[in-house]
Amino acid sequence: MLANALFWMITIPLAASPVSYLAGRLTTLRAASIPGRASPARWLALLTLLAAWIPYITAVRMVLASGSQTIVWGTVHFRVDGLGLVLSGVSLALGALVVAFSGPYLAGMEGEDKFYGLLTAMIGAMLGLGFSNDLFNLWVWFEVMTVSSFLLVAFHWQQPAALEAGVKYLVQSAVGSALVLMGIALVFLETGVLNLDQIRATAQPSSLLAAAGALFVIGFGVKAALVPMHTWLPDAHSQAPSGISAMLSGVVIEAGLVAMLRALGPLAGTHSGWPHLLMSFGAVNMLVGNLMALRQTQVKRLLAYSSLSHVGYMLLGIGIAVGFQSAQAAGGALFHVVNHALMKGLAFLAAGTLLYVLRSGHGSHHPLMTEDLSGASRRYPWIALALSIAVLGLGGLPPLAGFMSKWQIFAAGFQTQDGLVQALVIFGALNSVLSLGYYAPLVNILYRREAAPLVGGGLRAPLSMQLPVMLLAVLVIAIGIWPPLVNGLVVSGSRAVLALFGF
């Protein structure tokens, strides 16, 4: 039963990928494209992503009722547990919204069908990644996800800037993948097995396994935007189409983190330094992300750097969870994964809407600058409100979602009664205050009375852009006021994370 749900969950998006692409291409070839006519590729992609919710909800119900399960298809091992469900839920939700959002953005553009095809493939791969239970499987899904994202990042490949971002992203991702593969080779050498459960059972402290763990952290860390592997992030986020920026920041980074956890879990017991290492990376990410974002004048670049600091919070939570067996900390980290996906997705989609109405809708490829937002609330009140909600939520202000997940991580940290961890928590809270230093001015700029000339000449915001933005804003507020909304999923995920590390 669960096996069926898993099968359909992964297959629907993956199968839809070539189908929607072909459908789009054939329609384009057959009939001269009427401008503004919605491509069948887009509708097919949207339908399949919505259809995939059915097996997903079934799987969630079953796992919440009877716990995680291992499913084997031939030699491929899957583990359907809370961690994978969290990642899948976020991918499907944000994916569907991004497909809806990107319609007007891409209408009639060359390569539109390719976009939807690649996007659904990427989502399908992330679903597979979330549930992998052996290193081989994990790496393959990881590669499929990465490869489909290359051309999505470099989508506007006629523009030198986008092309440059795409090239750097490709090379750095490939280096990361190679390092992960080396780690897999080392694990294989040491234990002879690739199945995560078997590795956990047979792992003994050894320098090879420690090195393998390091390679996993660094290799997957490229994708998860750990410092100092993060340098591709600002370029890729600012040059990719806004929907893809939302996916990258909201889900792909988290997928990298989940992959890292899956790979590192069995090995963590072999060396005592992992928890502190993860916490240190978290602290560095927080600080570097915030400081780099402080002086940015391009909106999407600012948001990209802010993603760095949020990964820091997730790492802090995971580090505390692994070091002190804290289910609350793991729950907090996963709660933050969900919240960050929603808030950062909202921020990028709202900013993307403004980018579209102010610049790209007119054909300009200039990036969206913070000064362009001046007075945008006069013309686009709901989008401005949504962007403000996203940004203030990211800064950790109640009653928005970001506050609740950060609080959970902080509270779990204090519960450990460890002085160093408590100091790190205060450091994390201080970073939240620091982040307000670049989030608050954005809100101020949005609500000016003097509208920038760009705003005066802006297009009307299309409905298919406004609806996803509104929906995300409502979710961010709802979860902020009532955290138990996602409790079931997060608690199940936290148990899965602890199980992954052998607790």
Q: Which residues from 193-212 bind other proteins, rule CB under 8 A? A: 193-194, 205, 207, 210-211
Asked if 4 is part of the footprint of other proteins (rule: CB under 8 A), the reply reads no
Q: Mark 430-449 with x for binding to other proteins (rule: CB under 8 A) and - for no binding.
A: x-xxx-xx--xx-xxx-xxx
Cis bond before residue 399 (omega within 30° of 0)? yes
Query: Closer to other proteins at the Cβ: 398 or 453?
Result: 398
Residue whose CB is less far from other proteins, 251 or 490: 490
Q: Which of 261, 483, 486, 497 binds other proteins (CB under 8 A)?
A: 483
Among 411, 470, 471, 477, binds other proteins (CB under 8 A): 411
Three-state secondary structure call for residue 203:
coil
Among 9, 10, 93, 186, binds other proteins (CB under 8 A): 186
143 binds other proteins (CB under 8 A): yes
CB atoms within 10 A of CB 201: 12
Helices (H), 73-157: 82-106, 112-131, 135-153
* The one segment of 4-12, 39-47, 138-146, 336-344 that binds other proteins by CB under 8 A: 138-146
> Rule CB under 8 A: is residue 337 a binding residue for other proteins?
no
SS3 for 456?
helix
178 binds other proteins (CB under 8 A): yes
Candidates 81, 87, 56; CA nearest to 341 is 87
Write out the binding residues for other proteins, residues 153-172 only, by CB under 8 A.
154, 157-158, 160-161, 163-168, 170-172
Q: Please select the residue that binds other proteins; options are 29, 31, 65, 450, rule is CB under 8 A.
A: 450
Among 92, 94, 199, 222, binds other proteins (CB under 8 A): 222
Contact stretch for other proteins (CB under 8 A) within 17-25, 49-57, 354-362, 410-418: 410-418
> Of 206, 254, 210, whose CA–CA distance to 85 is shortest?
254
Three-state DSSP class for 418?
Answer: coil
Minimum CB distance to other proteins smaller for 92 or for 455: 455
Measure Cα distances from 11 to 18, 126, 499 in Å.
12, 12, 27
SS3 337: helix
- At 110, which amino acid appears? E
In the set 16, 425, 476, 496, which binds other proteins (CB under 8 A)?
425
Return the closest-CA partner of residue 173 out of 115, 250, 119, 232.
232
Measure the CA dihedral 366/370/373/375, to 10°.
-140
- In the complex with other proteins, the residue whose CB is nearer, 59 or 343, is 343
Smallest distance from other proteins to CB 21, Å: 16
Q: Is 497 in the site for other proteins (CB under 8 A)?
A: no
The Cβ of residue 29 has, within 10 Å, a number of other Cβ atoms equal to: 9
Binders in 236-255 for other proteins, by CB under 8 A = 238-239
Please report how many Cα atoms fall inside a 13 Å half-sphere around the Cα of residue 468, on the Cβ side. 32
Residue with the two structure tokens 């007007």: 104
Per CB under 8 A, does 235 bind other proteins? yes
* Among candidate residues 175, 163, 150, the one with its CA nearest the CA of residue 252: 150
Per rule CB under 8 A, is residue 331 in the interface with other proteins? yes
Q: Assess 213 for contact with other proteins (CB under 8 A).
A: yes
